[in-house]
């Protein structure tokens, strides 16, 4: 059997998965493989999975079938969270050859070698999650405009609905020096914006690292990381992907507010606006703390965009609980919602809770909050019409236009005669389209410099 030299990747799930898939892709390239699009025929297909919802599991099965339709003789490798949680279930999917868990993911080339030598049969390499105790640096690359840079992995929290600690292991993080080094490498490739990503990035440094075979407590915290990154002058824009409310400290917010590189955009998961539900979820904050953090953000950065994660239909969520969540969100100056319909996950405490919310009710509540999210986003955008904001231009889906996001995460588009992809410039926000994308025109070009971002806050 000839050694395969073409490989294609597909990512399911979060930004963290995208950063890791990109790292795996570079490993194959360094080993002499040609990396092609997943839509074309390849000798090897690698599927990096998520398992946050039942839909993600179904999506994995669909993706395997898509790969085999393109090349029925291909070797199919499945890795990621779903692979760690349910390796045998994946191995039973027709066409899957290799299943790799969290600790085995970045040794993929070693595990592939027997197949390339003609070995047959499905192989599972998914050890105990406690074995996932090292940190693998990774970042996405290919979109020259923006990169997702992994700084942390795993989680020590025990939320009753979540499988992430079972899928990714304990909290651990990169070294500050390595993160800075990766940021400079991305800058040398023309990247203008870096999104810091992980499972619980605010916990950076509070977890452990494995140094010379021993787990040790790290000294640098998240505030130390962002201070160091602020000195990477070659990168004009950093974003914090998501941070737990209890870890979103006054010190961090003060720093972001005073930084010319960290954008006025925070995403904080809420999950429920009802304190009883938060206790049942084992979240580490109350709605009062959440409200305080939102107030801090808006006091320091009045133009800041605030995103919110919400779960609907968690066991025991009554109609009044849900109404309380809706009222609470309506009262907050937040900008958009990511709404998740609760789904039972095996081996989580919530899966055995008795007061199950009917799926039809969950979907109805999801629709209500998605409508509220559109209202919040439209109101936030409306507040900024007529203003000039610093922006990064990206390719727009409509021919003849460039699009992108302002510093405070307002999505815009303008004719491509006025801007080039990967250019930073000031734009004037003019009117809002039905698709919640703001039409813009050229603004002050002086805001393209890093030092110009503060002038627009």
Give the domain-ending residue among 224, 247, 263.
Answer: 263
pLDDT score for 455: 33
Give the C-alpha separation, 235 to 139, whole Å. 15
pLDDT score for 392: 96
pLDDT score for 126: 87
Asked if 116 contacts 4 with a C-beta cutoff of 8 angstroms, the reply is: yes
Domain identity same for 35 and 127: yes
Domain identity same for 253 and 355: no
Strands (E), 198-278: 208-211, 214-217, 237-240, 265-271
Structural domain contains residue 55: yes
Asked if 163 contacts 347 with a C-beta cutoff of 8 angstroms, the reply is: yes
pLDDT score for 214: 58
CATH of the domain at 252: 3.30.750.210
Domain identity same for 36 and 109: yes
Domain identity same for 123 and 141: no
Give the domain-ending residue among 115, 131, 147.
Answer: 131
Asked if 10 contacts 45 with a C-beta cutoff of 8 angstroms, the reply is: yes
Question: DSSP of 129-177, one letter per residue?
Answer: GGG--S----B--S-SSEEEEE-EE------TT--HHHHH-S-EE--HH
DSSP 97: E
Structural domain contains residue 314: yes
Structural domain contains residue 84: yes
pLDDT score for 450: 37
Domain identity same for 298 and 346: yes
- The strands making up 123-125's β-sheet, listed across from edge to edge, are 34-36, 6-11, 44-49, 75-80, 96-100, 123-125
Domain identity same for 246 and 340: no
Domain identity same for 362 and 259: no
Pull the structure tokens for residue 24. 């795996």
Domain identity same for 78 and 168: no
Give the domain-ending residue among 344, 365, 384.
Answer: 384
Structural domain that includes position 298: 264-384
Domain identity same for 305 and 412: no
Domain identity same for 223 and 233: yes
pLDDT score for 148: 95
Structural domain contains residue 399: yes
Asked if 219 contacts 206 with a C-beta cutoff of 8 angstroms, the reply is: no
Q: What is the dihedral of CA 332, 333, 336, 341, to 10 degrees?
A: -10
pLDDT score for 133: 83
Q: How many domains does the chain have?
A: 4
CATH of the domain at 312: 3.30.750.200
pLDDT score for 13: 80
pLDDT score for 286: 97
Domain identity same for 287 and 322: yes
Average pLDDT along the chain, 457 residues, taken 10 residues at a time: 76 88 94 92 93 72 91 92 90 91 91 77 83 88 84 95 92 94 95 96 77 59 96 97 96 97 98 97 97 98 98 97 98 97 92 95 98 98 97 92 96 93 95 92 58 34
Structural domain contains residue 80: yes
Structural domain contains residue 1: no
Asked if 362 contacts 313 with a C-beta cutoff of 8 angstroms, the reply is: yes
DSSP 106: G
Q: Which residues of 232-258 are buried (b: 16+ CB within 10 A; e: fewer)?
A: beebbbbbbbbbbbbbbbeebbebbbe
DSSP 303: T
pLDDT score for 51: 76
Give the C-alpha separation, 208 to 216, whole Å. 5
Can you give the pTM of this predicted structure? 0.90
Domain identity same for 177 and 209: yes
Q: Which residues of 386-416 are buried (b: 16+ CB within 10 A; e: fewer)?
A: eebbbbbbbebeeeebbbbbbbbbbbbbbeb
Going by DSSP bridges, is the β-strand pair 388-395/401-406 parallel, antiparallel, or unpaired?
antiparallel
């Amino acid at each position: 059997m000839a050694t395969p030299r073409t490989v294609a990747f597909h990512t399911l799930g979060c930004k963290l998965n995208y950063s890791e898939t990109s790292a795996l892709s570079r490993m194959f390239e360094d080993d002499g493989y040609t990396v092609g699009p997943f839509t074309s025929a390849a000798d090897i297909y690698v599927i990096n999975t998520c398992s946050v919802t039942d839909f993600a599991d179904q999506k994995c099965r669909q993706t395997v079938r898509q790969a085999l339709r393109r090349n029925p003789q291909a070797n199919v490798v499945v890795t990621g969270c779903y692979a760690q949680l349910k390796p045998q279930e994946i191995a039973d999917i027709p066409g899957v050859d290799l299943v790799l868990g969290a600790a085995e993911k970045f040794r993929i080339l070693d595990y592939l070698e027997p197949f390339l030598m003609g070995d047959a049969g499905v192989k599972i390499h998914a050890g105990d999650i406690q074995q996932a105790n090292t940190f693998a640096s990774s970042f996405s690359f290919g979109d020259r405009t923006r990169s997702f840079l992994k700084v942390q992995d795993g989680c020590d929290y025990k939320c009753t609905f979540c499988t992430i600690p079972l899928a990714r292991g304990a909290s651990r993080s990169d070294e500050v020096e390595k993160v800075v080094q990766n940021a400079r490498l991305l800058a040398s490739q023309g990247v203008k914006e870096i999104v810091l990503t992980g499972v619980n990035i605010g916990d950076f440094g509070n977890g452990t690292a494995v140094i010379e075979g021993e787990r040790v407590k790290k000294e640098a915290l998240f505030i130390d990381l962002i201070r160091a990154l602020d000195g990477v002058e070659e990168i004009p824009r950093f974003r914090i992907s998501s941070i737990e409310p209890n870890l979103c400290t006054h010190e961090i917010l003060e720093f972001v507010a005073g930084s010319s590189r960290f954008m006025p955009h925070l995403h904080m998961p809420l999950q429920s606006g009802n304190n009883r539900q938060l206790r049942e979820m084992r979240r580490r904050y109350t709605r009062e703390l959440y409200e305080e953090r939102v107030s801090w953000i808006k006091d320091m950065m009045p133009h800041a965009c605030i995103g919110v994660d919400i779960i609907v239909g968690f066991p025991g969520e009554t109609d009044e609980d849900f109404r309380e969540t809706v009222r609470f969100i309506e009262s907050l100056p937040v900008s958009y919602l990511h709404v998740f319909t609760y789904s039972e996950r095996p081996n989580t405490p919530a899966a055995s809770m008795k007061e199950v919310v009917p799926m039809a009710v969950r979907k109805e509540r999801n629709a209500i909050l998605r409508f509220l999210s559109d209202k919040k986003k439209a109101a936030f955008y409306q507040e900024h019409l007529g203003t000039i904001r610093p922006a990064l231009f990206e390719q727009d889906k409509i021919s003849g236009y460039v699009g992108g996001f302002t510093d405070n995460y307002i999505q815009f588009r303008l004719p491509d005669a006025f801007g080039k992809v990967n250019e930073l410039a000031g734009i004037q926000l003019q009117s809002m389209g039905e698709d919640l994308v703001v039409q813009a025109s050229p603004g002050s070009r002086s805001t393209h410099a890093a030092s110009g971002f503060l002038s627009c806050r």
